[in-house]
Amino acid sequence: MKYRLFSWEYSYFSGKARAYLRYKQRMGALGEGFEDVLATPEILMGLLAPTTGSGAVPQLQLPEGDFVQDSSEIIDVVEARHPEAPVVPDAARAPRQALASYLVELLADEWLVVPGFWERWHFSLEDDGHREYNALQWGTVFAAGAPGPDRIAAGHGLFESMFGISEARTNPRGVYAGLVHLGCTRETEAAWWDSMDRVLTLLDAHLGAHDFVLGGQPTLGDFGLMGPLYAHLFRDARSGFRLRTEHPLVSEWVERTNGDNVGARTYDQTLYSLADGALVGRPATSDGGERLPADRVPATLDAIVAVFFEEMWPVLKSTLEKTRAWIASNAHEKGGELPTKTFFADPAWLEHQTGDGALTHEFEIGGIRARRMVVPYHVWMLQRLAAVLDTAAASDAGHEAVSAWLSGFPNGSELFELNERLAGCRVRREGARLFSLD
């Protein structure tokens, strides 16, 4: 039996999971492989939500029948089942590369999601934006199988009925309300976009020397970055034009990481020369087609990890404090449920995750102070990171290597406090749902 990935082409986290599964499949490391299944409303409501309690994508059905929701968990589960062609460096043997992988994934998943989300819905508001294109990609899911004009019409209808697009600026609903929940407003949107621009410029420099985050083979950080970069910045019409023209190396990397561009020197490709008329092959990608040796993290990647520590780490520290206070408060029963959403406040938690609610906090972007929702899912991601750090720093040599590397980032050494900071706010996942510990 094959794996089944339930996904949408335009979905942030589906792009991450799909690129990962394609890599494993192409490397012969995914058993019988996987089938990409369009998660239509019929399948979402009739199969996924009743089975897993979640209508979010991506979801992976294992050959045995069980479902996994969450792109990070999909990667963890598949890596454990198929250790060949690993995408995560072994934390005991390559401690810095392992940590760098998880930090880039976290930055890409849960920080760059804001400008990624913003560009899609901002350029759908503008007259010369990409609303028509966006309507087609949404209609292709919600009116799957219908003729083209009907799919475009279905997308437009949905934008009005679900997101109130014609009054998005005055009465934000759906995705437009989600952006406000995330602290992306008229005051901060330019600063969020500058943050994305900063990462794109740093990626230009990095990809000028290395084909992937850690050299000549894709790893977790690459798949994480496919979240913002594939479905949003690469595929969406306005930002896609800009990516191709202003950041061609990043655009080429998107195709390479998706494994679908011969000219892009993708991971399983051979580059041939002629010797006396005979074809002589060599790995097509940089660094001899291998991950960088000796646990090397290039300075061009350090510069991207620095964005995590400068911009996102302060928010994550506050998230841990706010979640701990919430769990300890009378409003929460020990072992009880917590909100799980990334793109918008969970409808059942609106009063707590919006306005001045207990699950909101102040943050800073580009020097502007603003307010956004606390996302308890970040606590789960940090627990996962803490476990990697424990392994990475378990030996004296590992501790020394990690410590020297982290001390190069603003407040980087604070990462060693992760276990203490997680005390009193640890969470557990059950399917796609999140609970505090009993």
Ligand X SMILES: N[C@@H](CCC(=O)N[C@@H](CS)C(=O)NCC(=O)O)C(=O)O
Would you give the DSSP letter of residue 416?
Answer: G
Strand, coil or helix: what is 338? strand
Tokens of 120: 């899609």
Which residues inside 292-331 make contact with ligand X, applying CB under 6 A?
A: none
Site track 336-375 with ligand X (rule: CB under 6 A), x = hit: -----xxx--------------------------------
CB 101 within 8 A of CB 217: no
In whole angstroms, how close is the CB of 224 to ligand X at the nearest point? Answer: 10
Q: Which is nearer to ligand X, 59 or 217 (CB)?
A: 59
Does 53 sit near ligand X (CB under 6 A)?
no
Nearest to 359 by CA among 255, 295, 269, 434: 434
Q: Which is nearer to ligand X, 117 or 313 (CB)?
A: 117
Does 13 sit near ligand X (CB under 6 A)?
yes
Calculate ∠ Cα 257-175-360, nearest 5°: 100
CB 331 within 8 A of CB 259: no
Does 383 sit near ligand X (CB under 6 A)?
no
Q: Site size for ligand X, by CB under 6 A?
A: 13
Does 200 sit near ligand X (CB under 6 A)?
no
Distance CA 194, CA 127 (A): 23
* 278 beta partners: 275
The single residue among 40, 52, 72, 140 that binds ligand X, judged by CB under 6 A, is 72
In whole angstroms, how close is the CB of 112 to ligand X at the nearest point? Answer: 13
Does 427 sit near ligand X (CB under 6 A)?
no
Tokens of 333: 């029963």
CB 359 within 8 A of CB 326: yes
Q: Is the dihedral of CA 342, 344, 348, 350 positive or negative?
A: positive
Does 385 sit near ligand X (CB under 6 A)?
no
In whole angstroms, how close is the CB of 70 to ligand X at the nearest point? Answer: 4
Give the binding range for ligand X (CB under 6 A) out of 55-63, 116-124, 241-249, 288-296.
Answer: 55-63
Backbone angles phi, psi at 244, to 5 degrees: -65, -35
Give the binding range for ligand X (CB under 6 A) out of 299-307, 335-343, 407-415, 417-425.
Answer: 335-343
Q: Which is nearer to ligand X, 326 or 343 (CB)?
A: 343
Which spans of this chain sit near ligand X (rule: CB under 6 A)? 11-13, 55-58, 70-72, 341-343
